[in-house]
């Protein structure tokens, strides 16, 4: 189902051109000049809303287009589907809670926190049930991690498909989690010596379950109940979810209701029929947990065209499931030559970093790319290098280098280069 028509494509093209031209001609805004100097705008002459009207504040009404968006033709039903983070409209490393992409398999469970229970059993000395208050009484940790769906960029394996980094890369977010270390939680029950794997299960209508090696569970996993200071959003697993740093989003089980310790993996549907990487020879990699280093230029990008010639900022996001991002390069010529981008802001283990590169642009066509390197020495590969090893049927784990073509009018398009 190819929804957009030729007409809409043309309108989009014209809109891009119009935006560029209008912005170039100083002051020629659609809104008129009554709010611009020397005039004094209404918001300076009149009182605004008092306190309390916005008991839970929302972004400015002028930011109403900065929202999660869906690709309706992707899935059979919205309850088992995905919405995408508007990366092109964000900056810094933290994703606002209401903009974190959603991926549900049975809709959003609405769990009464008083009725929330987490069961921990299997190969443990004593099986336990925790309430939410129990979890909050255990020692707390605060950690900033990225979460990327294994299928992020999955539509791009066969070539450039979706024209916007919200769609090509928007199944990633990065927030600060507050919760209890899984190691501490497991110690309350006492893990038996023959424990090798742990199964996490959701309390939603999909009861999502995944197997995780005990080494990872005892390393840096958490059971989180807060994101960016407030309680988890329902879409992110309220009131508690598993945090599995650096690993594919599917194992970060939301609405977490059960942890079972075992001595072998469960080979659940989600780690066999789904979330396995089918290679060209018809065999599939399983338990490909780690998200490899990846980056994308978020602006300019198709939804965020260049509006003015002259000095411009290139802004992008990079992350690695293997550790800290160490370095990011950008290219203006489709990967022929590279320059070092400037990482600005904090650099945390398995978290997003923000990078910038400044550009004097005179309307010449550009083929923008970014390339992330992490502290293990892993360098984000080109798409063709990935395809050479994996073919085009993997669906998951596409961390290939993205190319944006910038046209003389400032429009940007998702393209493939060769």
Partner 1 sequence: MWRLGKLAFVTAFLFASAGHVLGQAKSESPRNYGIGKIATPEQIAGWDIDVRPDGQGAPPGHGSVKEGEKVYMDKCAACHGEFGESAGRWPQLAQGKGTLASNDPVKTVGSYFPYLSSVFDYIRRAMPFGDAQSLTNDELYAVVAYVLNLNDIVDDKFVLSQETWGKVKMPNQGGFFDDDRETTEKAFWNSNPCIQNCRDPVTITGRARAVDVTPDEATKKRGAE
Q: How far is CA 3 from CA 7, 9, 24, 131, in A?
A: 11, 11, 32, 46
Does position 10 bind partner 1 by CB under 8 A? no
Taking the C-alpha atoms of residue 4 and residue 324, their distance in angstroms, rounded to an integer, is: 40
- Where in 49-108 is the site for partner 1 (CB under 8 A)? 65, 69-73, 75-77, 79-80, 105-106
Residue whose CB is less far from partner 1, 28 or 42: 28
298 HSE (CA, 13 A, CB side): 25
User: Binding string to partner 1 for residues 269 to 308, with x set by CB under 8 A, is what?
Assistant: xx-xx--x-x-xxxxxxxxxxx-x---------xx-x---
- Where in 122-141 is the site for partner 1 (CB under 8 A)? 126-130, 134, 137-139
Least separation in angstroms between CB 377 and partner 1: 5
- Strands 325-331 and 366-374 turn out to be antiparallel
Does position 385 bind partner 1 by CB under 8 A? yes
Does position 209 bind partner 1 by CB under 8 A? yes
Residue whose CB is less far from partner 1, 89 or 359: 89
Least separation in angstroms between CB 32 and partner 1: 14
Alpha helices in 77-181 (DSSP H): 132-137, 165-169
Q: Which of 146, 167, 238, 252 binds partner 1 (CB under 8 A)?
A: 167
Residue whose CB is less far from partner 1, 201 or 235: 201
- Strands 141-148 and 172-181 turn out to be antiparallel
* Segment near partner 1 (CB under 8 A); pick from 42-50, 185-193, 232-240, 349-357: 185-193
Q: Which of 90, 317, 405, 406 binds partner 1 (CB under 8 A)?
A: 405
Least separation in angstroms between CB 235 and partner 1: 19
Least separation in angstroms between CB 363 and partner 1: 18
Q: How far is CA 346 from CA 206, 343, 353, 374, in A?
A: 36, 8, 7, 15
Q: Which of 102, 148, 235, 329 binds partner 1 (CB under 8 A)?
A: 329
User: Binding string to partner 1 for residues 215 to 254, with x set by CB under 8 A, is what?
Assistant: xx-xx-----------------------------------
* Segment near partner 1 (CB under 8 A); pick from 37-45, 51-59, 140-148, 205-213: 205-213
Q: Which of 141, 195, 207, 347 binds partner 1 (CB under 8 A)?
A: 207
Residue whose CB is less far from partner 1, 18 or 42: 18
Q: Which of 294, 350, 371, 387 binds partner 1 (CB under 8 A)?
A: 371
Least separation in angstroms between CB 44 and partner 1: 24
Distance of CA 303 to the CA centre of its chain: 17
- Please classify residue 5 by burial: count the beta carbons closer than 10 Å to its beta carbon, then call 0-12 exposed, 13-18 middle and 19+ buried: exposed
Does position 205 bind partner 1 by CB under 8 A? yes
> Which residue in the block uniquely carries the two structure tokens 């001595």?
263
Residue whose CB is less far from partner 1, 338 or 345: 338
- Residue 94 backbone dihedrals phi, psi, to 5 degrees: -95, 130
Does position 323 bind partner 1 by CB under 8 A? no
19: tokens are 């935006």
Does position 195 bind partner 1 by CB under 8 A? no
Burial 265-276 (b: 16+ CB within 10 A, else e): bbebebbeeebb
- Strands 256-262 and 118-122 turn out to be parallel
Taking the C-alpha atoms of residue 338 and residue 318, their distance in angstroms, rounded to an integer, is: 16
Least separation in angstroms between CB 354 and partner 1: 21
Taking the C-alpha atoms of residue 241 and residue 253, their distance in angstroms, rounded to an integer, is: 6
Least separation in angstroms between CB 49 and partner 1: 25
- Strands 403-406 and 141-148 turn out to be unpaired
Least separation in angstroms between CB 164 and partner 1: 5
Does position 387 bind partner 1 by CB under 8 A? no
Contact status, residue 130 vs residue 111, Cβ threshold 8 Å? no
Taking the C-alpha atoms of residue 292 and residue 400, their distance in angstroms, rounded to an integer, is: 10
Contact status, residue 94 vs residue 176, Cβ threshold 8 Å? yes
Please count the residues of this chain forming the interface with partner 1, following the rule CB under 8 A: 119
């Amino acid at each position: 189902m190819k929804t957009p028509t030729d007409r809409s494509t043309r309108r989009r093209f014209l809109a891009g051109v119009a935006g560029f031209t209008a912005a170039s001609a100083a002051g020629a805004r659609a809104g008129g000049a009554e709010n611009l100097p020397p005039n004094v705008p209404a918001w300076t002459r009149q009182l605004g809303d008092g306190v309390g009207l916005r008991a839970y504040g929302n972004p400015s009404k002028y930011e109403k287009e900065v929202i999660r968006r869906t690709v309706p033709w992707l899935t059979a039903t919205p309850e088992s589907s995905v919405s995408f983070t508007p990366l092109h409209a964000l900056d810094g490393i933290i994703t606002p809670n209401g903009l974190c992409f959603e991926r549900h398999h049975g809709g959003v469970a609405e769990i009464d926190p008083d009725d929330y229970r987490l069961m921990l059993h299997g190969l443990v000395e004593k099986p336990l049930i925790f309430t939410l208050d129990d979890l909050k009484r255990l020692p707390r940790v605060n950690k900033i991690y990225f979460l990327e769906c294994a299928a992020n960029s999955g539509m791009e394996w066969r070539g450039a498909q979706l024209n916007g980094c919200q769609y090509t890369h928007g199944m990633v977010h990065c927030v600060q989690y507050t919760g209890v270390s899984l190691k501490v939680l497991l110690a309350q029950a006492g893990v038996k010596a023959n424990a090798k794997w742990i199964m996490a299960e959701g309390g939603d209508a999909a009861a999502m379950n995944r197997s995780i090696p005990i080494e990872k569970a005892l390393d840096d996993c958490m059971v989180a109940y807060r994101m960016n200071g407030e309680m988890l959003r329902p879409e992110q697993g309220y009131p508690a979810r598993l945090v599995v740093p650096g690993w594919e989003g599917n194992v970060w089980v939301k609405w977490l209701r059960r942890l079972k310790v075992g001595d072998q993996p469960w080979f659940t549907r989600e780690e066999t029929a789904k979330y396995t990487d089918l290679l060209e020879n018809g065999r599939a990699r399983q338990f490909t947990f780690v998200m490899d280093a990846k980056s994308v230029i978020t602006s300019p990008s198709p939804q965020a065209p260049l509006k003015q010639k002259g000095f411009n900022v290139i802004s992008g996001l990079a992350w690695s499931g293997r550790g800290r991002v160490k370095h990011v390069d950008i290219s203006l010529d489709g990967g022929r030559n590279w320059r070092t981008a400037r990482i600005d802001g904090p650099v945390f283990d398995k978290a997003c970093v923000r990078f910038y590169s400044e550009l004097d642009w005179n309307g010449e066509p550009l083929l923008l790319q970014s390339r992330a390197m992490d502290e293990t020495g892993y360098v984000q590969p080109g798409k063709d290098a990935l395809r050479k090893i994996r073919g085009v049927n993997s669906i998951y784990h596409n961390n290939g280098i993205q190319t944006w073509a910038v046209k003389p009018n400032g429009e940007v398009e998702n393209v493939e280069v060769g």
